[in-house]
Amino acid sequence: KSQFNVIEPQYHLAHIFVSSQPNVPAASIPGKAQNESQAHDKIKMVYNRLESGEDFAALAAKYSEDQDTARSGGELGPTPESQLKNTDPATRDAISKLKPGQFSEVITITNPATQKVLAYRIVKLLGKEAAGQRDVNDPEVQQFIRTQLRNQREQFLKEAYDESLRDNAEVHNYYVDQILKSFGAQK
């Protein structure tokens, strides 16, 4: 039960990230922006497509340069409210103005010391969870428990299967047999 007690509000976020640095995060990304101008043009194009009604997750998967989140449609997972205070001010301000399902304008991420543009991002607020105890009847809690039980059972079955294979395995060293046969033939 304590596992489902949320201490502080949680934000469920997704983002589309475009770096203006040529090798950040990796130069091998298809369509990777190589400078600030290309990055700005790319994020503006993505923003215009979002404005015209295209799916955020599909655009994140196709254009986001954050390889860790792009595959999952840009989802960053639950972020505690206290962790938002550690993000850049522009992102924090943009998130505070969003309602669930909305996405931000293009956010410019700059180096605070040099004011050089490092990247651009668009953030979407997928949902906000208030602090407090989650009820066992909550569909998300039930799904989490199902997933945990399924994963535990899967792990147990994999270990049992591996152990069964090891116990019933027969190992023959044909190379040594071949050497011994040739050695015996030489005598």
Q: Is pLDDT at 185 greater than 80 in this prediction?
A: no
Higher-pLDDT residue of 45, 77: 45
* Pair 13, 76: CB distance under 8 Å: yes
Q: Encoding tokens for residue 128? A: 């906000």
Indicate the SS3 state at residue 48.
Answer: helix
Torsion of CA 36, 42, 47, 48, to 10 degrees: 120
Can you read off the two tokens belonging to residue 120? 């651009």
pTM: 0.64
Say which residue, 134 or 51, is predicted with more confidence.
51
Q: Distance between terminal CA atoms of the chain? A: 75
Mean pLDDT, the chain, integer:
86
Question: Average of pLDDT values for 43-55?
Answer: 94
Model confidence at 142: pLDDT above 90: no
